[in-house]
Each structure stands twice: as structure tokens, then as C-alpha cells.
Structure 1
Amino acid sequence: MSLLVRYPEIASLAFEPRRNSITMKFLFLQLADEEMLRVNFLEESLAAFYELVKVRPLLCNIQLEFEGKLTVLNVERDVATISKSEIVLLVTILREQIQGLLVSDIVEQQLEEAGFHEELIENMLNSIKSNYGGQGLIGIREEGRVLVFNK
């Protein structure tokens, strides 16, 4: 759940042990056709990333849902092959390609605090990759806070 603290662009994060997957949700103000093309750019960029790092994802679902004036981007990945580098790439592409429409908490992090969260993220990914058989978790953002619940 350190991902939510480190990356305020991620609206929610769910870990599903039965599917051995993580789902990250990103919220956007209503996307027009031009921005929809940029979501395709995200898929192409991830495919190129997988090729470069020689990873074959077991699960990579990218879906858009339209809910009133919001567009929800769901990115579901298997925990066995996801990496911190992939998450950084994903967030960076969304920040840069769909500027102004990505809903994000304003979080001021000190540089040393950001490094601490990076280390926590790496530890969290390693922990769930090494056969975490526990309960599902869901983390959400609410009024600048991160709330974590058992699923």
C-alpha cells in the first residue's frame, strides 16, 4: 500500500491473492477521443517495456470504465512479473500524456521520504511475490489520507 502514499495519482490499489494480482485504479476527468489515443500509447509503451526487460506478463488487463464525469482506468497485473520500474513507467506516462485530466492528491514529499517509500515498495513487491497467502487487501485515497482494508 506504499504505492498509494508514494504515487498520489493512484486512486486505489487492490491485492487479490486468489488471482495473485494487483489492480491499480486511476481517475480522470472525462476523457475525449484524443486522450483515449494516449491510453493506447500506454499499452504500446508497456509492451515495449516488457520486450526490453524480457518479461512475459502472466496477466496484464487495461480497461476503461466511464462513470458520469469520470473515467476510471483499471490496470491489473500479476504480482509475479510486475516491477517497481513498470509502476514508475506507468505513472510517468499517465502524468505526462494525460496532463490536467488525471485526478491526483496534492502531496508534498521530501526527497528522503520519497526514497523511503521506494524502498518500502520494493519490499512490498518482494513480500507478495514470495508466496503471500494472506487475505486480500484494498487501499483507497480519501481526503489526503490512505485507508487500507482487508478484502
Structure 2
Amino acid sequence: MQLLASVLVCFPEIEAVSYEPRQELLTMDFVVRARLDPSEIEDFAAFLAESIETYYVIEGGAASEMDFSYEQHDALTILHLARRMDELSERELSLTVQLLTERFGEALLVDPHGAEALDTEFRTLQHETLERMLMAVREIPLRDRLVGIRERDQVVVYNR
């Protein structure tokens, strides 16, 4: 549970996160305050996949394919990105969030109570803790279906 909470604390751009143990997938939800054209979403998904693949080539590894989907509601687009938990790193999450921020700018919903509002030392500690937890999960996988969401100025994680 702490892992999902740390993802949300470290990355205020992630609106919700869920873990499915059967597929060992962590799904992150990002909200863009705009109704994006499907071709724009597909272009970004291809760019993100290529960027993650390049990151892993530089790091000396290989990444499996990511699962990218979206849904639209009025003037909002919700992007769903699923990655294998045993491959995920804090640095990959940082890269993903950076690319989303660069691409969608002010339209990307960011929790105002997020990481930037935290003390620098606490923020650094949270990122280090997140990386350690991601490494530990490779050895001892999570067994429960979990969901983490933002609720006002809090992060809530529960079993599904």
C-alpha cells in the first residue's frame, strides 16, 4: 500500500494509480484538461513508448511494451499508462511525468498539494523510498489488487 501512496506523493501529476497482481501491472492515470484529438494521443503514446525504450537501452536493459489507453469526458482526457511492476523505476516514472508535462503543459492536472509543496528534504526522501520499494517489489511481488487516489489534500490507498 505504501508503494502506491509514494507514487502519488512523489508525482502530483498522477491522478490515480492501481495495481493488478495477476498481470503485475501498475496503471497510472493522468488527466488532461482538454479534449484531445485521437491522432494527437496516438502520436504521444508512440513518442512515450519510444522514449521509455530508449531510456532502457541507455540503462542497459530492455522494456516490455507499455499499455496505453484513454477515455474522454466532455473537456477532459484521461490517459491510462500501464507498465510491468518488475521493470518500473523511479527514473522511468520521472521521465514519463516530464514528457507529459512538456507535451501538455498547463492542461495537465497537477495536485496543488503535491511534491513541489513539500519540504525539499522530505521530497528527496520520498523519491529514494519509492525507488527502494520498487526494487523490493521485484523480489517479493504484491499480492493484493490495490488502488490509490487523491481525495482533496490526501492520498488514499485501498484493496479492491
Higher strand share: 1
Which residue number corresponds to residue 10 of structure 2? 6
Q: Distance in 2 between matches of 1:58 and 1:45?
A: 13
Aligned CA-pair RMSD: 1.8
8 Å contact kept, 1:9–1:105:
yes
Q: Which amino acid aligns with 1:130?
A: E
Structure 2 residue runs without a partner (length 5+): none
| CA offset digits 1:68-107 (Å, max 9, x no partner) | 2211111100011111110010011111221011011112
Partner SS for 1:99 = helix
The residue that corresponds to 1:16 in the other structure is 20
CA-to-aligned-CA distance 1:99-150 (integer Å, 9 cap, x gap): 0110111120111011111122012212221132421111001112100001
One-letter amino acid of the structure 2 residue matched with residue 119 of structure 1: E
Find the aligned partners of 2:30 and 2:51 in 1 and give their Cα distance.
17
The alignment covers a number of residue pairs equal to 151
C-alpha displacement at 1:59, in angstroms? 4.4
1:146 alignment partner, SS class: strand
Q: Is the 8 A contact 1:11 1:24 kept in 2?
A: yes
Query: Which residue is equivalent to 2:80?
Result: 74
Is the CA contact (8 Å cut-off) linking 1:17 and 1:134 kept in structure 2? yes
Structure 1, unmatched stretches of 5+, are: none
CA contact (8 A) 2:49 2:66 kept: no
Shift of 1:57: 2.4
> So what's the TM-score if we normalise by structure 1?
0.89
Counting aligned pairs with the same residue, the percent is 30
Letter in 1 for 2:129: L
Query: For 1:150 and 1:144, how far apart are their aligned partners in 2?
Result: 20
In structure 2, the residue matched to 1:149 is: 158
Structure 1 position 88 matched with structure 2 position 94: yes
2:36 and 2:147 map into 1 onto residues whose CA distance is 29
Equivalent runs, 1:2-151 vs 2, <5 Å? 2-33=6-37, 36=41, 37-107=43-113, 108-151=117-160
Which one has a larger percent helix, Structure 1 or Structure 2? 2
